[in-house]
Amino acid sequence: MAFDSFVLHAVKTDLEKHLVQTPCKVQRVIQPNAVTLLLEFRGQRPGAEALFFSIHPGSSRVHLTSRHYPRPSTPPPFCMLLRKHLSGGRLVSVEQPPLERMLYLHFLATNEQGRESPKTLVAEIMGRHSNLILIDPLVNEKPKILGCLKPVPAALNRYRAILPNHPYDPPPLQDKLHPFALNYEYFRQEVLQQQGTRIEAFFLDHFQGFSPFLAREIASRAGMDMLAASAAPLLWEKLQELMAIYTSAAWQPTLLHGLAGLPEDYFAFKPHQNFTGTLRFFSSMSRLLDEFFEYKERHEAKTGLYRYFHQLVTRQLEKTRRKEKKQQKELAETERAEEYRRLGELLYLNIHAIPPKSRQFEAKNPYEESGGSVLIPLDPGISPSQNAQRYFKKYRKAKQGAKEISRQLKITRQEIKYLDSVLFAMEKADLESLGEIREELEDAGYLPRQQAEPREKKARLQKPLSFLSSQGETILVGRNNRQNDDLSLRLAAKTDYWLHAKNIPGAHVIIRSSNPHEATLVEAALLAAHFSRASRSSKVPIDYTRVKNLRRIPGPRPGMVTYSNFKTLYVTPDEKSMAPLLGRAVRQRPES
């Protein structure tokens, strides 16, 4: 995957068509974060795209976008600079040095004196060296840098500094052959010198503007892997084929979907080389890039959130389980209360017979009919009387603490059950559901609340999953604890039926009927098993009851309920049973 010179040239074609040939002016400049920027234009057709730039090292790019990005309440300095110089300006031309990953966007904007003033926005799309630079193209002088998205002082770059009021120097040229400044004879001599080299490495190492994909493409079109003298004519022909695509802008934007059906790579033209998966074609390079990077960013955001939340909840779960063990031990101690009292009484009965500094004392046990003896452990550092008092103190503490420890142990076990349910919900969560889980963890006190932007609202709760039973009855399934809470305790009617896997983390399932068909009940039980941690098990126990029999467990943790008057079904959510049911999922309408 590479945003190479061919992809950039295809984007240039989009910009010329939609922003240069169609009269329009810069209406807004938005900088969502430190590495992205958008230019919105006035005069485009309704629903037209904005111009998007990113200098992120892993996803640097420029293209048109129809996506919506957040607007910070306080615009960063570079955003303010662009608003000053480009607002109301027209994009008059777009220039790309041949096979370079650079665009010069030439604007005409009205300055403070009311005169049209040329400004150039330079997009350097070069991985970790990417930048966005506003320059003043002075006549007969070197262009002057007005500002940049990423300042680069001379200490970080020996060749050029990228700072305001410095002259602008383009990136240094690579010491490679330029395909457009090459004739066949020179090319043939290079092939002769590099015989035995892999073709991919030959083009990648010796020719300007070539990405690994383009180098592999020539090898694939030539049908060979290794460089040989006899290959020069064919390789020259295939090189000219690629250059013809570039010069004639014969683009066929192509998205590669892998075996799982997810986007994996993209190209400016239909590749000759074989890929595992399916190819999908787009009408413009910008639309392809918009879709591909939306998926990539959502996938990366989901992966990052999942990893962070999983570590957080796992640590908290381990801590709570240690707490449970400690409380179990304390509770076991309270069960010895009567034993402590008897040991204290025995010490007082034999107080004068106990030698000082004894570590133990064997006393006759009057509490046993057999008249046996009991060995009493002692602390040699204190007197026999103090040892007796110590046992009575243990007795009083155990007696008083039993009720409180039992109560705390119940709360701890509820917390373990809740955290386990969060871990399960995360396994099946998409990005929106992870956002809901974040808010859930904030509400429960496991995460500090994020400082939201003034205009930013709390995420709206997603709708539960919806299915139609074979009898036409609606079955709803919660995706996480917040949804479970909302579904079972607010959305469902008291006469609806509620289902859940017995003693297993899983989704709340609601049948929207007071008298569901028996087949619907079985199908709802299958869904409850499928959306639980026992989804790969057989004979999964599913409890069901009316919603009126649910009671929310008090506290900040959502989705935690007790229930009564229930019955239990046993189902096996195998593929044969689930396929027709999952196929009757009701598609959700997007929120307006």
Residue 329 pLDDT: 87
Distance of CA 185 to the CA centre of its chain: 52
Same domain, 412 and 524: no
Same domain, 108 and 52: yes
Tell me the percentage of the chain whose pLDDT exceeds 70: 96
> Which of 148, 181, 210 corresponds to the end of one domain?
148
DSSP 19: I
pLDDT in tens, 49-95: 799 999 999 999 999 999 989 888 899 999 999 999 999 999 999 99
Residue 154 pLDDT: 87
| Residue 458: pLDDT over 60 | no
Contacts of 193 by beta carbon, 8 Å cutoff, 6+ apart: none
Strand order in the sheet with 509-511: 465-468, 474-477, 509-511, 497-501, 540-546, 567-571
Residue 363 lies in a domain: yes
> Which of 422, 441, 473 corresponds to the end of one domain?
422
pLDDT in tens, 557-585: 888 899 999 999 999 999 999 999 999 98
Same domain, 106 and 24: yes
Tokens at 209, concatenated: 């503007």
Q: Average pLDDT of the chain?
A: 90
State the average pLDDT over residues 329-354: 86
Residue 459 pLDDT: 55
Q: Report CA-CA distances (Å) from 233 to 147, 220, 223, 229, 245.
A: 48, 15, 13, 9, 19
State the average pLDDT over residues 393-398: 86
The dihedral sign for the CA sequence 280, 284, 285, 287? negative
Same domain, 491 and 380: no
Q: Where are the beta strands (DSSP E) in 219-327?
A: 254-257, 263-267, 278-281
Lowest mean pLDDT among 222-231, 369-378, 456-465: 456-465
Question: Which residues does residue 255 pair with via DSSP β-bridges, in sequence order?
Answer: 266, 280
Q: Domain count of the chain?
A: 3
The number of helix segments (H) and strand segments (E) in the chain equals 13, 22
| Residue 452: pLDDT over 60 | no
Residue 448 pLDDT: 86
| Residue 46: pLDDT over 70 | no
Q: Is residue 182 classed as helix, strand or coil in its secondary structure?
A: coil
Same domain, 480 and 560: yes
Residue 455 pLDDT: 45
Q: Confidence class of residue 591 from pLDDT cuts 50, 70 and 90?
A: very low
Tell me the percentage of the chain whose pLDDT exceeds 90: 70
Lowest mean pLDDT among 95-99, 355-359, 537-541: 355-359
Full domain range(s) for residue 67: 5-148
| Residue 454: pLDDT over 70 | no
Contacts of 451 by beta carbon, 8 Å cutoff, 6+ apart: none
Q: Confidence class of residue 592 from pLDDT cuts 50, 70 and 90?
A: very low
Same domain, 488 and 377: no
Prediction pTM value: 0.75
State the average pLDDT over residues 120-128: 95
Assign residue 21 the CATH number of its domain.
Answer: 2.30.310.10
| Residue 44: pLDDT over 60 | no
Residue 286 lies in a domain: no
> Which of 422, 439, 456 corresponds to the end of one domain?
422
| Residue 108: pLDDT over 60 | yes
Residue 469 lies in a domain: yes
| Residue 451: pLDDT over 70 | no
Residue 233 lies in a domain: no
Residue 179 lies in a domain: no
| Residue 419: pLDDT over 70 | yes
Residue 561 lies in a domain: yes
Same domain, 53 and 110: yes
